[in-house]
Amino acid sequence: MGTVFNVKSNNVHPFELSVQRGVVKVTLKKSGQDVYVNAGETATLSSHKLLVSQTKDSGQFEQYLRQIRFKDERLADILRIINTNAGNIRLQTTPALENRKLTVTFADNTPESIAELICIALNLKCTRENNVLTLHEN
């Protein structure tokens, strides 16, 4: 969790893996060549070799942040991911609720609407203090 990357591969364009956050290890099956792709880098398959370079299109990740899916994820992990993209609003919960599991998809939601949807799904209440939204039991 916390690693963000994008893979492109089709018949027209060669394999390409770009990393926004974290590190991804890519292995070429035929030769066994390994490369580590760090945040801000892209690995491309060229002439049967993996080449690593700086990512040219950093905007490619924006479309994925508009829709985020979670399947059987801990509430604490969901909030951590949402907070990395939420700007100056921060979502938190009480320790007793961190391990509650949730399957949910958010599409173009604000942090406030995400908090509201989670509260509805898990029968919780949300309180706000400045820019911090806290999810807790009723």
Contacts of 71 (CB under 8 A, 6+ apart): 103
Question: CA 136 → CA 12, 98, 120, distances in Å?
Answer: 50, 10, 12
What's residue 3's pLDDT?
77
What's residue 72's pLDDT?
93
Strands (E), 1-138: 4-8, 16-21, 23-27, 34-38, 41-46, 49-54, 67-74, 90-93, 101-107, 124-129, 132-137
What's residue 109's pLDDT?
85
State the pTM of this model. Answer: 0.62
Each residue's pLDDT expressed in tens, for the chain with a length of 138 residues: 457 888 888 888 889 999 988 899 999 998 999 999 999 999 999 999 999 999 998 777 776 667 888 999 999 999 998 888 777 899 999 999 999 999 999 888 889 999 999 999 999 999 999 999 999 998
